[in-house]
Amino acid sequence: MPGSISSVPTIDIKPLVDSSATDEAISNCIQEISKACEQWGFFYIANHGISHELIKTFRSDMDSFFHLPEDMLKSIKRTQDNSRGYFDDELTKNKLDWKRCFDFGAQDGSLDKKGMDGFNQWPTEVQHATFESTMRTYFEKMEQLSQLLLRAICKSLDMDEDSLKGNFEANHTSYLRLNYYPLCPDPDNHLSIHHHTDAGALTILYQDNHVTSLQVQKDGEWHFIPPREDTFVINIGDMIQVWSNDRYKAPLHQVQANSEKERYSAPFFYNPSYASDVEPLVKEKSEAVYNVLNWGEFRAKRFAGDYADVGEEVQIAHYLKPQAE
C-alpha cells in the first residue's frame, strides 16, 4: 500500500469542552483548528469528552451486528426508496467499494420523494440487546460534539460562533455509518472506499486502533492517517469549503483494502437541513467564489451515484462563479 504517514495534527479540545477554560486556552485551540483546516482539512481530537465505556460498548455492538446471519442483514437492506439500513453494494466515483455498511439517522419518519431519507431499520436479534440504544446514545454524543466543532470552525473563520447554527436546527440530515471492511484477497486491485470528498459539513470518524488504511491526498501524494488511541479523526466537507469561500478545502481521501486484517470504522456525517441554501460567508469587500447551492438538491445528485453509474459526479466546483478576465 503506497503512501507515507501524514503529519495531521492532534488537537487537545479540552478547552472547548471545559466550561472553566481560559480565553487564552480557547483561542489557542481555535488557532490550531484553523491551521489544521488550512493545511490538511483533517485533524485528530483528544480529550473530546466521549467516555471509554460508551466507545467500548459501541465497538462491541458494531462487531456483533456485522456477524449476524446474512439473511437477517439482507432483510434490513438499504434501497433507493429508503437510504437507511444495511448494504454491501455502494459505489464511490462509480466504482464498487470493498466494504459492508449500516446507516441510520436521528429520527424515524416517512419516506420523502427524494428517497434520501426514510426510516431507521434495526435488526430483530443482536447478541447484545443494547444495540439500538447504544447506537442512539452514540449518535446523540456525536451530534453534540459536531455542534461544538462547528462553533469552533466558525470562530476560526473570524465569524460569530453561531453563524451556521440555523442550517442545522430544524431537521438536519446527519447520519451515522457503521463500516466493516472484510479481508480482501487482492488489495492491489481494490479499494475499500474509492477517493472522494465528503459532501456535508464535517465528519467525525471512529476507527480501529490496529489497522492503518485511511489516506488523504496532499500536494498530489497519498498520506496515511493512522489510528491514534483515544482520539477521533475530523475532516471538513464540501459545505464548509463553500461557507469558508475556499479558505478551507474539503480533502480528497480514500481507504485502502487489506488482505491481513479486517477493519471497522464509524463516520458521523454532520449535514445541514435539506432546505439550507449554502453560500460563502464573505466579509465586506471580499468576493464570493461560489454561487448559492441548495443542500437538498446537491445531496440528491450525490445520492443517485451511490446506486448506479450516473456519469460525472456533481462537485462543488460546478457551482464556482466564472472568473473575471
Provide the annotated active-site residues. Answer: 263
Task: With beta carbons less than 8 A apart as the criterion, state whether 141 and 50 touch.
Answer: yes
Q: CA-to-CA distance for 174 and 172, rounded, in angstroms?
A: 6
Q: CA-to-CA distance for 294 and 290, rounded, in angstroms?
A: 12
Strand partners, 176: 104, 268
**Secondary structure (DSSP) of 21-90:** --HHHHHHHHHHHHHHHHHTSEEEEES----HHHHHHHHHHHHHHHTS-HHHHHTTB-BTTB--EEES--
Could you tell me the three cell numbers for 310? 450516473
Q: CA-to-CA distance for 173 and 117, rounded, in angstroms?
A: 8
Q: What is the dihedral of CA 19, 20, 21, 26, to 10 degrees?
A: 40
Contacts of 318 (CB under 8 A, 6+ apart): none
Q: CA-to-CA distance for 178 and 210, rounded, in angstroms?
A: 17
DSSP 3-state of 138: helix
Contacts of 172 (CB under 8 A, 6+ apart): 106, 270, 271, 272, 273
